[in-house]
Amino acid sequence: MSVPDYMQCAEDHQTLLVVVQPIGIVPEESFFRIYKRISAVSQVNVRDSQRVLYIRYRHHYPPENNEWGDFQTHRKVVGLITITDCYSAKDWPQTFEKFHLQKEMYGSTLYDSRLFVFGLQGEIAEQPRTDVAFYPSYDECETVEKRIEDFIESLFIVLESKRLDRATDKSGDKIPLLCVPFEKKDFVGLDTDSRHYKKRCQGRMRKHVGDLCLQAGMLQDSLVHYHMAVELLRSVNDFLWLGAALEGLCSASVIYHYPGGTGGKVGSRRAQGGSLSAEAGNRHRPGALTSNGINADTSAEIGRAKNCLSPEDIIDKYKEAISYYGKYKNAGVIELEACVKAVRVLAIQKRSMEASEFLQNAVYINLRQLSEEEKIQRYSILSELYERIGFHRKSAFFKRIAAMQCAAPSIPEPGWRACYKLLLETLPGYSLSLDPKDFSKGTHRGWAAVQMRLLHELVYASRRMGNPALCVRHLSFLLQTMLDFLSDQEKKDVTQSLESYTAKCPGTMEFITLPDGLKLPPVPFTKLPIVRSVKLLNLPTSLRPHKMKSLLGQNVSTKSPFIYSPIIAHSRGEERNKKIDFQWVQGDVCEVQLMVYNPMPFELRVENMGLLTTGVEFESLPAALSLPAESGLYPVTLVGVPQTTGQITVNGYHTSVFGVFSDCLLDNLPGVKTNGCTVEVIPALPRLQISTSLPRSAHTLQPSSGDEISTNVSVQLYNGETQQLIIKLENIGTEPLEKLEVTAKTVNTKEKLYGDFLSWKLEDTLSQFPLKPGKIATFTVNIKVKLDFSCQENLLQDLSDDGISVSGLPLSSPFRQVVKPRVETKPINPQESSKVGDFSHVKTLEAILNFKYSGGPGHVEGYYRNLSLGLHVEVEPSVFFTRVSTLPATSTRQCHLLLDVFNSTEHELTISARNNEDLILHAGECQRMAIQVDKFNFESFPESPTDGTQFANAKQLEEERQQAKGLEINSKLDICWKIPSLKREGEASVEGVLNQLVLEHLQLAPLQWDILVDGKLCDCDIVVNCKVGDPIPLEVKLTNWSKHSVGPFALTMTPYQDYQNGVHNYELQDAITFVGSNTFYIDSVKPTKDSVYFGALLFLYTGDFYLNIKFHEDNCSRELPLSWFCLPSVHIRAMEPTVQTKL
């Protein structure tokens, strides 16, 4: 016997072998449809008996195996069923002849045979025959199963007769010697009358009868015969047949212990009812019927159990039998099949290690030269058996060998599809899956080197199958899952192969369905490159949307009355992980930053890399990048534009690497860090771009609020200079710009500013709104720098109080009864008074212009944007006032303000004041200028320019009032400077240089005294002309600008003459006389009220006369400051009447 049956199992020993074959040309589909119906009748209950016959059908059986039928009767073909087509009566004789020829092939062993003819109708078909069945067609054959049952009953009749014939002990008859084919030549010339020979014949016959009993459903009798055969054959050392008797004993015991079978599929050898044999099913019932139909007592059951082997003894007997088979070279097939049967029994007993020993023995059994198909079958069965005992890797090993045999070089047409299919079946044994998700978590399972070898073989088989898509999929899987185990050279080789395949068939994210229905999932390249973190970026500062604050405030609903709640904290933590606290804007480019790493030893080119999103229509703008070899963490920014509003979730990214398109989802990347994946997209807003007339600044402003400045400009100005900044506002978005608010803020400066640093008129700009996309509006800002002009250096000598010409103005020093000494100006900052003045020091002013704008759908939803312009101003000093003082003027309502002016520029400079001539100052030159000014009525100012409650103490209030006074004085002086060579000009402010004493000198006294002579106001150098002999009216008017009532007062007027040599003549009783008293009494005067007192003078002689006015010292006058009693001088010129007539 040369062809092993790897599907054999122990229960096959009780089956009858029936061969079903076609005659002539029968359609394969039709044949197997009938064969399937025939093979369904696998067990038949014997009529008038409780025995069951089991049938084993084969559509192909080698005739040489049939020669071993005497050795083991289940190998003998006892039935033949042939199927043929015959559509005409003339073909019938030839068809029937072929049937007889077919029977002759198995003629020596056949019990009975049948011929099923399809298509023949008529007279021949109507003739009743037992061995032939006629059917009109393959669809009209309802009685096939019934015919098969009748056929099996006929086989049973023959089988039973043979059993009875062989089992009967005919003493006197010579028992024939049963032989296997290779023994016949060995027994030629033996002594047939020897006792040894007779025992051999008896032993072999007993074993043969045991086989017949087992086939006939008599399990108890078969056990008895097998035991007798073992004793007889062991005594004559007939090892081959002794092994067969032991194997028969094992098979009968297996059938008893495991009625469900050992073939792997329970009931696979049973009929549809799934009933067991009558004996096996009823062996536990004492009153069960035996095969002879007689009630058996319990002694029969006890005897059967005694003859039956235990599960452990079964394996021992199998080992013994196989050892006997191993003694015979020609019994290799028998030995192999016995090993397979033993393994199936051990698999049920869950004795894997012993089963592996039997399988290992089966591997090394030498058979004849096997064909490639037989090798494939052998290795496949070995793989299946190893799988059954739980040796998955060993199973995969033999299945892989079977796959390699499918494509052996000796095969003219290699079966690459079968090879590929078998290779796929080996994957679980090597802990390999074709789903990349199984490799994304935990440690690597299995031997990576073996897995890579297997994947390479899958790629090669796919290529030989002519399926490049499969090649790409398996190579992608190899590169993705085995990247950590590939050497640098292997990485290069695999990527080169992959690129060559993708040039013909690019890799996609589609499932690949194989012909057997298996689906290969896509393989995204999540490691090419490796992504470590994903961060959604906020919009640039100038484009970030802000929500307009409502009256109730924002996020009221999220507030909790509890200070801390673990439930709230937990939910907020999840919220933070999922949703981000900033917004994106519809129609604006949004960014996501990925930190990626290239693990390859060469430059990695990633094409078409973009974002995968859900929730909002999103236009991804793909990027291409090139990562250096083993680059380390490398930032990559992916961008896109949301087209609609709502919640958008970034699920992952897509790439194209080596021609393979990948969709990499963040859920499949457990090691990726992210700040959240969901962000809100708000409606579209306009985009404002600003450009200015000034150059960009190298200085970047850093405001304390942390906001970024989109544009920085710089300008250089002299102190006091004013310049216009023209800003162009361009709407570069797609929505109209409808609202605009402008605010300014000075930052990072310790300098004190006077006046408005930045000023503008927004109405002119708003008149151009709404600003359509692409349109430009202009906005003008006035930059005016007025810092402190004071300097602590006394560059000029003090001026004495005599007449000195300063800037060409003659100053007289008229007589005053009360003359206060001039006091030096105190420095504003005492700590800097000792320093040497640095007149070239450049000071810096920085400010931020903030443009708050909105429009379009975003404005309707209450959103706006901020755009900031940084302004960097370098202020160079122009002029300094190094000293300031005052001199009284001839008028009580005026005084002279003396300013020491220093030109700190490198250019010639002119400085002027209102109603004054220009004063020319060369570079670095200092001169004094005198400005005659009217005194100021500061009492009319309010207590404070703002609400007094804002000031913490009286000192702050006083400083604020002093600033207001300085501003008033500066506006009246109108001091300006010009640099003709540069064509630049500006203001010079005295606000920061006026001290308290100077302010007092510049202030009008609260009590204003006016003296009128002959109706003319006397003051300064005014001379009143009068005639000698005429009485001259004299009026004294007092106006009270203080806050309290004043008076009463008494003042006396004494006339005198000034001889201009220091001598005053008061003895003028003969020249002047008063009409009435020369003493004026003034009653109390209320605030803001005035009082007028009248008198008269009579001049008797001509000449220039003056009036000396003195107050009487009383309580009222002593309580008030002396400066309140400053009266104007009175100069009267008396002339002759005749002279006046002549004139």
Summarize pLDDT for 214-253 with one digit per residue, the tens: 999 999 999 999 999 999 999 999 999 999 999 999 999 9
- Tens of pLDDT along 432-467? 988 888 887 778 888 889 999 999 999 999 999 999
What percent of the chain is predicted at pLDDT more than 70?
Answer: 81
pTM of the model: 0.68
Report the pLDDT value the prediction gives residue 525, as an integer from 0 to 100. Answer: 92
User: Which residues are bridge partners to 1008 per DSSP?
Assistant: 1039
- Tens of pLDDT along 323-350? 999 999 889 999 999 999 999 999 999 9
Strands (E), 446-501: none
- Tens of pLDDT along 57-75? 999 998 888 888 889 999 9
pLDDT level of residue 511 (50, 70, 90 thresholds)? very high
More confident residue, 883 or 613: 613
- Tens of pLDDT along 348-403? 999 999 999 998 988 888 777 788 888 888 899 999 999 999 999 999 999 999 99
Would you say 847 and 745 are in contact if contact means Cβ atoms under 8 Å apart? yes
More confident residue, 476 or 753: 476
Q: Cα(941)–Cα(820) distance, rounded to whole angstroms?
A: 26
Would you say 786 and 758 are in contact if contact means Cβ atoms under 8 Å apart? no
pLDDT level of residue 554 (50, 70, 90 thresholds)? very low
More confident residue, 237 or 558: 237
Mean pLDDT on 17-34: 93
Would you say 881 and 988 are in contact if contact means Cβ atoms under 8 Å apart? yes
Report the pLDDT value the prediction gives residue 22, as an integer from 0 to 100. Answer: 94
* pLDDT higher than threshold 50 for residue 106: yes
Crossing angle of helices 392-406/448-464, nearest 10°? 30
Mean pLDDT on 998-1009: 70
More confident residue, 1058 or 889: 1058
Phi and psi angles of residue 185, each rounded to the nearest 5 degrees, phi first: -75, -20
Report the pLDDT value the prediction gives residue 488, as an integer from 0 to 100. Answer: 93
Mean pLDDT on 417-430: 91
* pLDDT higher than threshold 70 for residue 1139: no
More confident residue, 1137 or 571: 1137
Q: Quick one: 333 exposed, middle or buried, by C-beta within 10 A (0-12, 13-18, 19+)?
A: buried
Report the pLDDT value the prediction gives residue 1020, as an integer from 0 to 100. Answer: 66
Report the pLDDT value the prediction gives residue 930, as an integer from 0 to 100. Answer: 81
Q: Which of 171-175, 517-521, 1094-1098 has the highest mean pLDDT?
A: 517-521
- Tens of pLDDT along 39-55? 999 999 987 778 899 99
More confident residue, 558 or 430: 430
- Tens of pLDDT along 273-286? 333 333 333 333 33
pLDDT level of residue 756 (50, 70, 90 thresholds)? confident
Distance of CA 1055 to the CA centre of its chain: 102
Q: Quick one: 791 exposed, middle or buried, by C-beta within 10 A (0-12, 13-18, 19+)?
A: buried
- Tens of pLDDT along 140-149? 888 999 999 9
Report the pLDDT value the prediction gives residue 836, as an integer from 0 to 100. Answer: 37
Would you say 269 and 11 are in contact if contact means Cβ atoms under 8 Å apart? yes
* pLDDT higher than threshold 60 for residue 265: no
Report the pLDDT value the prediction gives residue 945, as an integer from 0 to 100. Answer: 46
Which range has the worst mean pLDDT, 226-240, 600-614, 707-721, 880-894?
880-894
Q: Cα(1039)–Cα(1089) distance, rounded to whole angstroms?
A: 6
Q: Cα(884)–Cα(798) distance, rounded to whole angstroms?
A: 11
For the chain, give the mean pLDDT: 80
User: Which residue stretches of 40-73 are H helix?
Assistant: 63-66
Tokens 């229905």, residue? 517
Q: Quick one: 405 exposed, middle or buried, by C-beta within 10 A (0-12, 13-18, 19+)?
A: buried
- Tens of pLDDT along 780-837? 999 888 887 777 555 555 443 333 333 333 333 332 222 333 333 333 343 333 333 4
Q: Cα(685)–Cα(511) distance, rounded to whole angstroms?
A: 42
Q: Which of 618-632, 883-897, 915-929, 941-955 has the highest mean pLDDT?
A: 618-632
CA torsion sign for 303, 291, 342, 339 is positive
Report the pLDDT value the prediction gives residue 271, as an integer from 0 to 100. Answer: 35
DSSP per-residue codes, 1088-1138: T-EEEEEEEEEE-S-EEEEEEEEE---HHHHHS-GGGG----EEEEEE-HH
Report the pLDDT value the prediction gives residue 220, as an integer from 0 to 100. Answer: 92
* pLDDT higher than threshold 50 for residue 656: yes
- Tens of pLDDT along 969-978? 777 778 888 8
Q: Cα(276)–Cα(283) distance, rounded to whole angstroms?
A: 11
